[in-house]
Structure 1
Amino acid sequence: MAPRDCCDCGATAGPLGLCADYYHAILVDEQLDPRMRPWHAVVVCVYLLQHPSRGHEKHLDGQFRMLQYYLDRGLDALLRFAAHQVARNNHRARSGYDLRPLEPYEPLPPHGPPERFRTSFCDLPHDGDGGFVSDGHDAYGQRIRDLAEATAESWKSIGPDRAAPG
């Protein structure tokens, strides 16, 4: 398979292209459709955990824990957590982030990333008229949750004892 047909997460390109093409299309659609925005943080975490070379290594552990928080507590809890973080990081508050709610969750395994994920952005259905939400926002939210579950499962399957490559 040619390199342009396979994503660095192991996914085969879909009709829109590689995962980055899907990710950017979702970000554009979020700007046009406010009802997609609640899943923004989940979309970003999933994308960066499936494509860690596109993010910052120092943030991956927090993104992995935030993804677990979302899977454990749901979207509403994640949105409250994010709003609390934004309020704490306000220049007037000067109190900084409060990451204590993420402490109970597993840290990012040190020997990743996984080679493949059960599902990826390239698996998301998209049509020209309705984009990612042609069958409704609830269905879109469930697909994003499925992506989050697949991402967490793959990272957790590595475990802390997998030998480092090389």
Structure 2
Amino acid sequence: MDQCDCGAEAGPLGLCDYYYYAILAEEQGDPEMYRWHAPVVCAYLLQHPSRGHAKYLDTQFRLLQLCLDQGIEALLRVASHQVARNRHGVRSGYDMAPLEPYAPLPQEGPPERFRTGFAALPCDDGSFVARGHEDYGRRMTAIAQATVDAWFGRPAG
């Protein structure tokens, strides 16, 4: 059986990258699903750090912690704030103030396994939200929690 670089076995649709790109495609036509875009990207890249850019992983890790601590609405407010800063030509870079309370990315390197990940997501009738948007949000939250826990060295079991 195929195994992903995050340690997960391939799911019914294949390895995690297939799930990730299918989610990105589906969320483009579903605004409620798209609300989870930032946690999806952050969790995927933290579970598959070779697919992203190392200089952004710390911010992505802190964003997941913020989402888990304060919820998706808080994450959306922070993201909206960043977009507004970019629109107004602020050149000082990312505003880290909302993320300062959260732990930096551990430097020990990526975990070998995660309690849950993308290949565990159900995709009924070709949709990740076929069981409802609430269910999808719970599953994204579980993936975010498993990602943060693994980076903090908490057991994947």
Kept after mapping to 2: 8 A contact 1:11/1:122: yes
Task: Flag the structure with larger Rg.
Answer: 1
**2-structure distance, mates of 1:8, 1:95:** 35
CA-based RMSD of the aligned residues comes to 1.3
Distance in 1 between residues matched to 2:138 and 2:147, nearest whole Å: 14
Q: Is the 8 A contact 1:89 1:95 kept in 2?
A: no
The number of residue pairs the alignment matches comes to 154
- Once the two structures are superposed, residues 73-129 of structure 1 have per-residue CA deviations (whole angstroms, 9 ceiling, x without a partner) of 100000000000010111545554311111111111111200000001000001225
The yes-or-no answer on 1:13 pairing with 2:10 is: yes
Residue 68 (1) aligns with residue 37 (2): no
Paired with 2:117 and 2:26, the residues of 1 have a C-alpha distance of 18
Task: Supply the AA of the counterpart residue of 1:134.
Answer: A
**Counterpart among 133, 136, 139 of residue 137 in structure 1:** 133
Partner residue of 1:50 out of 47, 52, 55: 47
Please give the TM-score of this superposition, normalised by the length of structure 2: 0.93
Gap regions ≥5 residues in structure 1: 159-166
Q: Which residue type is aligned with residue 61 of structure 1? A: D
Mapped to 2, the partners of 1:96 and 1:52 lie a distance apart of 22
TM-score by length of 1: 0.89
Unaligned runs of 5+ in 2: none
Give me the whole-angstrom Cα distance separating, in 2, the residues matched to 1:30 and 1:58: 26
Cα distance in 2 between the residues matched to 1:141 and 1:100: 26
State the Cα deviation string for residues 30-54 of structure 1 (Å, max 9, x = none). Answer: 0121210000000000000000000
1:107 and 1:94 map into 2 onto residues whose CA distance is 23
Identity score, percent: 64
One-letter amino acid of the counterpart of residue 23, structure 1: Y
